[in-house]
């Protein structure tokens, strides 16, 4: 047979090409409820996967259905989940073995959906001989075969630079600002940045709501210890909204709340994407101890039992589902946020 005959259309017409794509969503145990909400928004069934921890503490994973050729979205915040007896390290290891199992099962693309990116605060060396742990996590994810990462409101944007794979950075800014626009307040609002590093966030937050903003001067004498100095801006007689990307032990937040109240603010409300709430956070944040009337967070981190009544949780599943839908369809993700998805 001549070369020309081999290259004729009839020579390849017998090969069947099926370009039908499949979207599958699986949840890790750290954020299984959020994964279920995302799957519901996407009108797909949550994938069946066997996840267990052996008696010696090792994590086990096996998919109970075929994922060959599918775009597999693995929803897992690398955070603690007391209800599942999981630490952030357990959640990270579970995500890694889920990625490896998906790769071995011939998934077409493997996308790690990490609403909360654990270790994101360890993004630089603050002292000699320290690791850059956020980079270590990125290297681990890529080493086991992840194709893409979807996350929300990173502590610092440069964490994206630790990846050679695409990173889609979502923000909860639209849903948080909409929440405050839908509320009725007795006093004028003022958006307060807890430190100079969040000035851009406070300014954009205030502009979207249509109110003024202020900034606080902060010193940090040691890790997880913060001292608030003074407020630059007018908060007297207003409802101050403290805006940050996360609340961990709540030491900074409570000190900031005390400062704005001392400066004459009538009420204090706190707002953050990630409610980590570790250690003594719940005790500190109770209204009688903190003076904070309301704490608004999203469900990127599962809420531990025993939360005080002044904590309000908003669901981020719609934003994450919209992002997943666009990634699957190879559409623009930034259009969801009008190109403003790098605000935190």
Q: Distance (Å, rounded) from C-alpha 172 to C-alpha 175?
A: 6
Q: Which of 41, 218, 238, 267 is catalytic?
A: 218
Q: Distance (Å, rounded) from C-alpha 100 to C-alpha 104?
A: 6
State yes or no: is 218 an active-site residue.
yes
Do residues 213 and 205 touch, judged by C-beta distance below 8 A?
yes
What does the H/E/C string look like for the chain? CCHHHHCCHHHCCCCCCCCCCCEEEEECHHHHHHHHHHHHHCCCCECCEEEEECCCCCEEEEECCCCCCCEEEEECCCCCEHHHCECHHHHHHHHHHHHHHHHHCCCCEEEEEECCCCCCCCCCCCCCCCCCHHHHHHHHHHHHCCCEEEEECCCCHHHHHHCCCCEEEECCHHHHHHHHHHCCCCCCEEEEECCHHHHHHHHHHHHHHCCEEEEEEEEEEECCEEEEEEEECCCCCCEEEEEEEEECCCHHHHHHHHHHHHCCCCEEEEEEEEECCCCCHHHHHCHHHHCCCEEEEEECCCCCCCCCCCEEEECCHHHHHHHHHHHHCCCCCHHHHCCCCCCC
Q: Which residues are catalytic?
A: 218
């Amino acid at each position: 047979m001549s070369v020309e005959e081999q290259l004729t259309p009839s020579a390849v017409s017998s090969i069947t090409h099926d370009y039908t794509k499949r979207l599958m969503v699986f949840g890790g145990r750290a954020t299984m409820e959020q994964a279920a909400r995302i799957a519901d928004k996407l009108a797909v069934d949550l994938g069946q996967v066997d996840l267990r921890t052996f008696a010696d503490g090792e994590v086990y994973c096996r998919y109970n259905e075929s994922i060959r050729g599918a775009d597999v979205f693995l929803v897992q915040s690398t955070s603690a989940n007391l209800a599942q007896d999981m630490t952030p390290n357990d959640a990270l290891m579970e995500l890694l073995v889920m990625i490896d199992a998906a790769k071995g099962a011939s998934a077409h693309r493997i996308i790690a959906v990490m609403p909360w990116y654990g270790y994101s605060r360890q993004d630089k060396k603050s002292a000699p001989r320290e690791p850059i742990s956020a980079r270590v996590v990125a290297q681990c994810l890529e080493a086991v075969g992840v194709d893409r990462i979807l996350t929300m409101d990173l502590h610092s944007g440069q964490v994206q630079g630790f990846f050679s794979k695409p990173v889609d950075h979502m923000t909860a800014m639209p849903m948080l600002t909409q929440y405050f626009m839908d509320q009725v307040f007795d006093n004028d609002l003022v958006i307060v940045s807890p430190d100079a590093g969040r000035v851009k966030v406070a300014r954009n937050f205030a502009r979207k709501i249509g109110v003024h903003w202020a900034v606080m001067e902060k010193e940090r004498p040691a890790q997880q210890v913060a001292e608030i100095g003074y407020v630059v801006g007018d908060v007297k007689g207003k409802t101050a909204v403290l805006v940050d990307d996360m609340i961990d032990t709540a030491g900074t937040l409570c000190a900031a709340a005390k400062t704005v109240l001392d400066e004459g603010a009538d009420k204090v409300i706190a707002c953050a994407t990630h409610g980590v709430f570790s250690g003594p956070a719940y005790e500190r944040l109770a209204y009688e101890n903190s003076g904070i009337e309301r704490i608004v967070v999203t469900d990127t981190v599962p809420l531990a039992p025993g939360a005080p009544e002044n904590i309000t949780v908003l669901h981020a599943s719609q934003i994450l589902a919209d992002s997943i839908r666009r990634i699957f369809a190879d559409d623009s993700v930034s259009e969801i946020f009008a190109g403003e998805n790098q605000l935190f």
